[in-house]
Amino acid sequence: MYACIDLGSNSFHLLIARWHEGSYDIVERFSDKVQLGEGLVEGGNITQQAFDRGLKCLETFRQALARYPIEKSWAVGTNALRTAGNAAQFLRKAREQGFIIDVVPGLEEAALVYAGVISSLPDDNISRLVIDIGGGSTELVVGAGPKRLQSHSMAIGCISWRDTWFTNPPQTESALSQCLDDAAQAAAGVFAGVAEELTRTPWQEVYASSGTAKMLSAVCGHKSQQQRPTPGVTLATLQALKVDVMRTVLEPGFSLPGLKNSRRELILPGWAVLHGFMTACQVNDLNFSPSALREGMLHYLAQASAKGESPLHALRAH
């Protein structure tokens, strides 16, 4: 039985799975919206509140892990732990709780995401563009089957974009509309930096993973009222959602179908980042992938265990 712990800038996740002959069965999933990356844009450090939330979550994970006969585990930290000035202090406190965390660079995070996404797709050589919008960074990979053709890690995410653009969103429709457009245009500017390079390895399908994609896929599904074979997002539906997205700020009592209350504060930055990506990279529609970084971690953890090496070594050797 294996355990994968993903310490993201928005959420912490724990995946416990039973691995058998090249496939796995999920035993338990735990997630907590820690928002470790909160305030990083302004202060450069993990805030004390986020620091405490993170350690509290790890204690919950420790108790959960104690209930299972875990053979191998792997903990990975991403953008917040890559960039925060006080990341070393958090890692030290986590170690005191029994968690040794590998902080991976953005391109290695992209490799983990890609391995996770393709793990739930047919075993073929169809070329795919994969995007994973996290709390502090966004990873992009173009690949065919298990082969990654190009990878990118961009300094943009739903938490950083919230803290940059929407800490005090305007309370009039015209001003909020302009703010949302400006945030989307700024996001498009970030992705424009790799858009041309991405076209050098054309893709046939686009998949988006993690929380922001899940949130917007659910909301777009309610908006379009269409039964799609795979839940996803179209640029046209995303654009049509703009008025409803603004209503979540302008009308406190408004309930946007498909949007969980716990994600309400991230709908504006999430919309802006995804809209910016789809516009800059000329993506008209994409599919949602329920598999992401944690499933990729599981792939490398199992591979490493079979060879008697560390999962980080297996990742870097791939």
> Considering the domain boundaries, does residue 118 fall inside one?
no
> Considering the domain boundaries, does residue 187 fall inside one?
yes
Span 127-152, average pLDDT = 97
Please tell me the pTM assigned to this model: 0.94
Start-to-end CA span in the chain (Å): 23
pLDDT, tens digit, 9 for 90 and up, residues 41-88? 999 999 999 999 999 999 999 999 999 999 999 999 999 999 999 999
Query: Is 82 in the same domain as 162?
Result: no
Query: Is 93 in the same domain as 150?
Result: no
C-alpha span between 180 and 100 (Å, rounded): 40
Domain containing residue 255: 124-289
Strand partners, 133: 138
Query: Is 174 in the same domain as 149?
Result: yes
pLDDT, tens digit, 9 for 90 and up, residues 173-231? 999 999 999 999 999 999 999 999 999 999 999 999 999 999 999 999 888 765 444 56
Percent of the chain with pLDDT over 70: 98
CATH of the domain at 169: 3.30.420.150
pLDDT, tens digit, 9 for 90 and up, residues 21-47? 777 889 999 999 999 999 999 999 999
Query: Is 283 in the same domain as 170?
Result: yes
The pLDDT of residue 227 is: 45
Query: Is 59 in the same domain as 159?
Result: no
Tally the domains of the chain. 2
Query: Is 208 in the same domain as 267?
Result: yes
Query: Is 221 in the same domain as 156?
Result: yes
The pLDDT of residue 226 is: 52
Q: Quick one: 186 exposed, middle or buried, by C-beta within 10 A (0-12, 13-18, 19+)?
A: middle
> Considering the domain boundaries, does residue 117 fall inside one?
no
Query: Is 263 in the same domain as 186?
Result: yes
Strand partners, 25: 18
Nearest to 35 by CA among 223, 162, 147: 162
